[in-house]
C-alpha cells in the first residue's frame, strides 16, 4: 500500500488481538517536516486497557516461562526471519516511519532491520542460560537457577524507538517474561505496526502494546501490582518519576536516561576524511537525537584548528530537508519542544559572544522556513564551559568544540558532567587510549568512532551517574530480566 499520502490508524494489541482503545479514542501524529500534514492516528489507551494488558501478560506467563530457553530462542529466531522476509512491507514501513518521525530514510531502514538482528542476538544469549550455574563448596553444593521475573513493562522513547526496543524486548522474552510495551506518543505508528507483527508470531498475551499519553497510562502501567520488572528509556526527569512510582511496589527497574557524551581527540589521532566522516555521524546522526551521540568534543590544542577545519567541511556538506529525499542526510527534529531546546542553547551561546557556525545546505528554503522542525548543524567553537550547550544534553544538531592541553585535563573535562552514558577516545596508540578509557566515568567508551554505527550490541549498555541504572543488551541484558534462585543441599546431593 502507498503510505506516503495515506493517513493510517493503529490499534492497541492485547492477548493476541488488535483492537481500538477503550472508548475508541485516538490522537494525531503529524509530519515533523510539514507539521500540518497528518500522517496517522494512534489509539489513545486508557488505564482499563493497561490493566487488561498486564493481566493478559500475567496469564500467559506460566506457559511462556515454562518453555526452555532453547524453545523460546527458536521462536525469537523465527521473529527475526519474518521481520525481514517482506521487502515491500519493510520499505513501506520505512517510508511511513520517516514521515511520522522525521529521520532520513536510510536511518529508518537501519532501525527496522536492527530490531530483527537483536532478536537473533538475544536468542543466542538466552540459550546459554539453560544450564544452571554449579557451585561446589566444602559443605554444600549450590545450583544457581535463573528465573524470569514475570510481567515486564517496557517503555521506549521517540528518538530510536525500534532500535531501543531491540535492546530490551527480545531480552525480556528470551529470559521468559511476558511484556507490556508502551511506545512514545511522539512516534507510535510504525513501532505499533512492527510490534503487532511480532506479537502475532508469539502465543497470545506474551507481547501486548498500549499507545497513548504517558500522563494517562504511564503510572497505571509502571505502578501495576502485577508488573515485576520495569525497563525505561527516556529523560532524567521522567526517570526520577518512574523510580518514585516503582518504589511503591519495590519493583526492580532499569533506567537508561540522558547523556552528554564526550569525545576526546588526542594529539596522535588520525584525521583523514574517513575519520571526519565517522565524527560527523557520531555527532549528527538522526539530527543529533541519539542518547549516546557525541555531544561535547575536546581536542588537543595542537590539532584544534585541523579538527575544526576538517569537521566544518563535513558539516558544510550536510543537506537538510525532507528525510524521504535521497539527497537529504539530515531531517528535522522530531517535535517543536525539542527544537526549542536546541535553538535556545544556540541563542544563548551567541548572546554570550561564542563563535557559532551554522553549516549545511538547504535545497528547499520554502520547506526549511515553512514551520517544520529544522535546524542546520551548529558548531560552538572554543565554547565556554558554563554554556548550556556544554553543560546540558542538546539532543539535537549542536556541538561545542573545546581545547585541552594534557590527557589528564581531557579526562577531567570528560568527567565534569552529571551524566556518564558513553564516550570516545580518538588515538592511534591503543595502550594510551585504553588507559584513558579506564579513567572515564561512562558506561561505554569507543575507540576512533562513536555511537550506534560503532556498536554491535554484544556488550551490556547503560550509564553512570544521572545516565541511569542497570544495563540493556548483551548477556547482562537478558540476566537483568531474571532473578537468581539458589538451590542448595549438602555436598554430593546436587552436583
Q: Where in the sequence numbering do the catalytic residues fall?
A: 256, 291
> How long, in residues, is the chain?
495
The count of C-alpha atoms lying within 13 angstroms of the C-alpha of 318, restricted to the half-sphere facing its C-beta, is 33
Which of 224, 194, 177, 7 has the alpha carbon at shortest distance from 100? 7
SS (H, E, C) 61-105: HHHHHHCCHHHHHHHHHHHHHHHCCCHHHHHHHHHHHHHHHCCCH
Give the up-direction half-sphere exposure of residue 303: CA atoms within 13 A in the CB hemisphere: 20
Q: What share of the chain is helix, strand, coil (3-state, %, to 5)?
A: 40, 25, 35
Distance between CA atoms of 451 and 446, rounded to whole angstroms? 8
Across-strand partners of 299? 265, 403
Dihedrals phi, psi of 24, to nearest 5 degrees: 75, 15
Instruction: Name which of 118, 105, 7 is nearest 474 in CA terms.
Output: 118
SS3 144: strand
Kind of pairing between the strands at 178-182 and 207-209: parallel
Spatial separation of the C-alpha atoms in residues 324 and 106, rounded to whole Å: 9
| Strands annotated E in 294-346 | 294-300
* Interatomic CA distance for residues 318 and 371, integer angstroms: 20
Amino acid at each position: 500500500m502507498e503510505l506516503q499520502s495515506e493517513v493510517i490508524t493503529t490499534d492497541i494489541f492485547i492477548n493476541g488481538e488488535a483492537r481500538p482503545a477503550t472508548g475508541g479514542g485516538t490522537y494525531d501524529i503529524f509530519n515533523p517536516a510539514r507539521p500540518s500534514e497528518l500522517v496517522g492516528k494512534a489509539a489513545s489507551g486508557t488505564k482499563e486497557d493497561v490493566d487488561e494488558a498486564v493481566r493478559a501478560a500475567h496469564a500467559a506467563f506460566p506457559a511462556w516461562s515454562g518453555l526452555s530457553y532453547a524453545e523460546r530462542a527458536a521462536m525469537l529466531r523465527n521473529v527475526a526471519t519474518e521481520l525481514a522476509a517482506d521487502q515491500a512491507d519493510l520499505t513501506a514501513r520505512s517510508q511511513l516511519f520517516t514521515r511520522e518521525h522525521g529521520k532520513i530514510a536510510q536511518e529508518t531502514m537501519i532501525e527496522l532491520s536492527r530490531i530483527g538482528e537483536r532478536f537473533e542476538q538475544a536468542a543466542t544469549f538466552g540459550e546459554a542460560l539453560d544450564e544452571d550455574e554449579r557451585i561446589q563448596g566444602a559443605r554444600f553444593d549450590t545450583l544457581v537457577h535463573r528465573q524470569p521475573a514475570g510481567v515486564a513493562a517496557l517503555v521506549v522513547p521517540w528518538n530510536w524507538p525500534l532500535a531501543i526496543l531491540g535492546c530490551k524486548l527480545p531480552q525480556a522474552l528470551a529470559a521468559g517474561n511476558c511484556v507490556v510495551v508502551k511506545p512514545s506518543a511522539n512516534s507510535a505508528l510504525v513501532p505499533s505496526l512492527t510490534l503487532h507483527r511480532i506479537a502475532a508470531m508469539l502465543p497470545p498475551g506474551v507481547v501486548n502494546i498500549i499507545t497513548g499519553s504517558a500522563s494517562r497510562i504511564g503510572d497505571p502501567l509502571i505502578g501495576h501490582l502485577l508488573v515485576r520488572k520495569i525497563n525505561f528509556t527516556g529523560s532524567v526527569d521522567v526517570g526520577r518519576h518512574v523510580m518514585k512510582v516503582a518504589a511503591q511496589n519495590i519493583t526492580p527497574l532499569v533506567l537508561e536516561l540522558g547523556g552528554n557524551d564526550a569525545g576526546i581527540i588526542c594529539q596522535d589521532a588520525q584525521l583523514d576524511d574517513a575519520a571526519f566522516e565517522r565524527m560527523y555521524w557520531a555527532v549528527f546522526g538522526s539530527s543529533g537525537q541519539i542518547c549516546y551521540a557525541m555531544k561535547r568534543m575536546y581536542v588537543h590544542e595542537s590539532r584544534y584548528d585541523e579538527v575544526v577545519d576538517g569537521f566544518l567541511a563535513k558539516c558544510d556538506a550536510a543537506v537538510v530537508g525532507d528525510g524521504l529525499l535521497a539527497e537529504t542526510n539530515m531531517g528535522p527534529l522530531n517535535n517543536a519542544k525539542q527544537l526549542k531546546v536546541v535553538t535556545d542553547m544556540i541563542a544563548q551561546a551567541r548572546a554570550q559572544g561564542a563563535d557559532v557556525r551554522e553549516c549545511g545546505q538547504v535545497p528547499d528554503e520554502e520547506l526549511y522556513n515553512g514551520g517544520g522542525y529544522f535546524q542546520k548543524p551548529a558548531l560552538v567553537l572554543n565554547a565556554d564551559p558554563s554554556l548550556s550547550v556544554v553543560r546540558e544534553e542538546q539532543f539535537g544538531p549542536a556541538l561545542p568544540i573545546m581545547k585541552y592541553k594534557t590527557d589528564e585535563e581531557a579526562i577531567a573535562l570528560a568527567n565534569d558532567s552529571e551524566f556518564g552514558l558513553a564516550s570516545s577516545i580518538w588515538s592511534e596508540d591503543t595502550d594510551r587510549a585504553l588507559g584513558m578509557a579506564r579513567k572515564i566515568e561512562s558506561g561505554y567508551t569507543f575507540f576512533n568512532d562513536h555511537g550506534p554505527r560503532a556498536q554491535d550490541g554484544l556488550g551490556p549498555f547503560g550509564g553512570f551517574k544521572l545516565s541511569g541504572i542497570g544495563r540493556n543488551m548483551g548477556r547482562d541484558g537478558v540476566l537483568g530480566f531474571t532473578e537468581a534462585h539458589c538451590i542448595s543441599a549438602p555436598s554430593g546431593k546436587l552436583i
